[in-house]
Amino acid sequence: MSKDSQMRAAINQKLIEMGERERLKELLRAKLVECGWKDQLKAHCKENDQRKTLTHK
């Protein structure tokens, strides 16, 4: 395991132990929703699906 991987694993473990990992995930999720990222991604996926459907007909 590389030093970078070890550091990530250690940080992740500490965040889990402290209960901060879930709090940070929820904060990030709320910020993404707030800025419209989720809706933009959903619209982008729909557009791609429609393009694929049209090209395979």
pLDDT surpassing 80 at residue 57: no
Q: Which of 2, 24, 22 is nearest to 10 (CA)?
A: 2
Average pLDDT over residues 9-23: 95
Average pLDDT over residues 18-30: 94
pLDDT-derived band at 25 (thresholds 50, 70, 90) equals very high
What distance in Å separates the CA atoms of residue 49 and residue 57, rounded to the nearest whole number? Answer: 13
Token code pair at residue 11: 């940080």
Query: Which residues are CB-contacts of 32 (< 8 A; sequence separation ≥ 6)?
Result: 38
State pTM to two decimals: 0.59
Average pLDDT over residues 12-23: 95
Give the model's pLDDT for residue 18: 95
